[in-house]
Amino acid sequence: MNAPALYLALPIAAALSVYFLFPFRPRLAIFISTVLAAGMAWFASVLPFDAPITVLGHPIPISGSLSLLGRQFIFAPSQRSAVLFLFIGGAALFGGSLATPRNRLLLPVGWVVLSLFSASLFVQPFLYAAFFLFLSVLFLSLLLSDSTHPVPRGAVRWISYSALGMLFLLLAGSELSTLNNLPKDPGDLQLLLVQLCLGFGLLISFPPFHFWLPDVVDDSSPYSVSFILSLYIGSVIFLLLRFLDGFSWLRMSPDVYLALQAGGVGMCLVGGGFSVFQNRLGRSVGYLSLCNLGALLLSLSIPGPAGAQMAMVILAARGFSLLVWGVSFHALRPTHSGDRLEDLRGVASTRPLAFSAALLSGLSLVGAPGLISFPPLWALLRELAGASASGALGLLLPLSLLLSLAAGVLSVFRFARPMLTFAVSLPLSVEKSRSLRAFLLASLFLLVFLGIFPQIYLPLMANSANAFVNIMGTN
C-alpha cells in the first residue's frame, strides 16, 4: 500500500461520493465525511512504515514514497502529526456543518482541499507546495460565492492575491534551492527576504493584502469563511515552518525572526485597531482573526522548538474558535438580515446560545482569559516579555499582544450591548434546530473547559510540531 497515494486519492474519491450522496442523504454524507476524516487522522498516527500491516491474515507492506510525473511525494514518519492535525481539523469542520444551512459543495470541496493540503505536505522539493496551496484557494473560493451569496468580489481579490503569493514563493524557493549557506551578498539576502515576505504576506493576508477579507465576511457564508481562515491559514503556516525547517541558514538568520516580529506586531495592531471601529460583526471577527494571526507570527518569531510548538497550539485553538464562530454567526445572521449593530438588536433573547458562542469565540480569538486560546497566548506573552529586553522591537512585542486583547474585548463589548437590548416584542427562546443547540452547547462547554484544563489538548497539539525535525532539534 502506498501511503501518499492513499492520502491523495482517497479524499478525491470521498469528494465524488459525497457530492452525489449529499442531495439525497445530507446528514449521512456529513456523518461519513466526519468519520472518514477522523479515521484517516487516526490511521496517519498509527501507520507503520517499518513493518507491513496485516489485513485478514495477509501482510501488506507500506510504502511512504510515490513517484508522480518525475517528482516524489514522500510521507515521512515525522509528518504523521501534521497529517493528523490536518485531518482532525477536517473532521471537525465536516462535523460542524451539521449545524449550518446545507451547502452541497462544502463537503466535496473540503475533501479536495484536504487532498491538496496533503500533497503540499508530501511533495518534494517542498517549495512546489505553493502550487497546491493556490489550487486549494481556487477550490475554496467556490464556497465563497453561491446563489445566496452572489457577489464574488472578495473571492476574486483573494484569488488574485494568492496567485501573486504563489509566484513570489516559487521564485524565492528556486533561489533558495541554489543556496546552501547564508548568502554572502547582503543584496541577495534582502531580495530573498522581500520575496518570502511578499509571498507569505499575500497568502496570509498581511495588511495591506487583507482587503479581500472584509468583502468575504460580508458577502459569503460565515461557515465557509471559518473553513478558510482556519484550515487554509493553517496550511500556509505549515509551509512557512517547512521553509524554516528546510533551510538551516534561513533558520539561523536573525533578519527572518525580525521580519516575523514586525509582521506579528503589524497584524496585532492593524487587526485590533480595525476591529474596534467596525459596525458589522462579521468584519469585526475577521479583523480579530488577523490579531490571532499576528500572535501566530509572534510565536514563530521565537527560535527553536518552543516557538513551533506554541504556533501549533495557537493554530488548533484558532481553528476551534473559528469553527464555533462560523456556526454561531450563521445562527445570528439568517440569510436575509444583516450583521450591522442595529440589525443585531435583541438577538441575545431569541438566540441566546448562538449569541454566547459568537461572543466567546470572538474573545477566544484574541486570547481572553479562561478560554481555549488563553493558555498558548499566555505562554507566548511570557516568552515575549522575557525576550523583549534584548530584542530589536523591545516592549512592543508583548504590548501589541495586550493591545490586540484589549481591542478584541472592546469590540466584542460594542456588539454585545445592542444584542443584549431586550425588546418586549422579542420573547426569550432558544434555537429551534436540535443539532444547532447541541453543537452550540458542546462548543460553549469546550471553549471554557479546555481553557481551564489546557493539559488535555496542549501536549497533543504541541506534538504536531514534531513534523519539523530540524526546528525541533535546535535549542
Partner 1 sequence: MPSGFFLIGYFCLLGGTSLLIVFRSWNRSLSALALQSIGLGLVSFQITPPPVAVAKTTVGLFAVALLALTLSREKQAAGDEENPPVQALFRVSLLLFLFSSIVALFPQLTGVFREPPAGISFAALCLICSGLLNLGLAEHPLRSAASLLTILQGFELGYLWIEQSLLVLALLAVTDLAMVLVMIILYSHAAPEAPAESRVAS
By the criterion CB under 8 A, which residues form the site for partner 1?
68-71, 128, 131, 134-135, 138-139, 141-142, 144-147, 149-152, 155-156, 159-160, 163-164, 166-167, 170-171, 174-175, 178, 191
Q: How far is the CB of 383 from partner 1 (least distance, A)?
A: 37
Q: In terms of CB distance, is 128 or 249 closer to partner 1? A: 128
Q: In terms of CB distance, is 162 or 261 closer to partner 1? A: 162
Q: In terms of CB distance, is 188 or 255 closer to partner 1? A: 188
Q: How far is the CB of 225 from partner 1 (least distance, A)?
A: 15
Q: In terms of CB distance, is 132 or 247 closer to partner 1? A: 132
Cα–Cα distances (Å) from 368 to 356, 398, 405, in that order, read 14, 15, 7
Q: In terms of CB distance, is 4 or 451 closer to partner 1? A: 4
Q: In terms of CB distance, is 13 or 163 closer to partner 1? A: 163
Task: Please name the residues in contact with 269: beta carbons below 8 A apart, sequence gap of 6 or more.
Answer: 294, 400, 403, 404
Number of continuous H segments (helices) and E segments (strands) in the chain:
21, 5
Q: How far is the CB of 228 from partner 1 (least distance, A)?
A: 14
Q: Is the peptide bond before 208 cis (omega within 30 degrees of 0)?
A: yes
**Between 281-300 and 212-219, two packed helices, what is the crossing angle to 10 degrees?**
140
Can you spell out the DSSP letters for 186-212? HHHHHHHHHHHHHHHHHHTT-TTTTTH
Alpha helices in 204-253 (DSSP H): 212-219, 222-227, 233-246, 248-252
Q: C-alpha cell of 242?
A: 517547512
Q: How far is the CB of 312 from partner 1 (least distance, A)?
A: 28
- In degrees, to the nearest 5, what angle opens at C-alpha 429 toward C-alphas 427 and 435? 155
Contact 310, 379 (CB under 8 A): yes
- Cα separation, 226 vs 144, whole angstroms: 11
Contact 367, 378 (CB under 8 A): yes
Q: How far is the CB of 130 from partner 1 (least distance, A)?
A: 10
Q: In terms of CB distance, is 124 or 429 closer to partner 1? A: 124
Q: How far is the CB of 162 from partner 1 (least distance, A)?
A: 10
Q: How far is the CB of 145 from partner 1 (least distance, A)?
A: 5
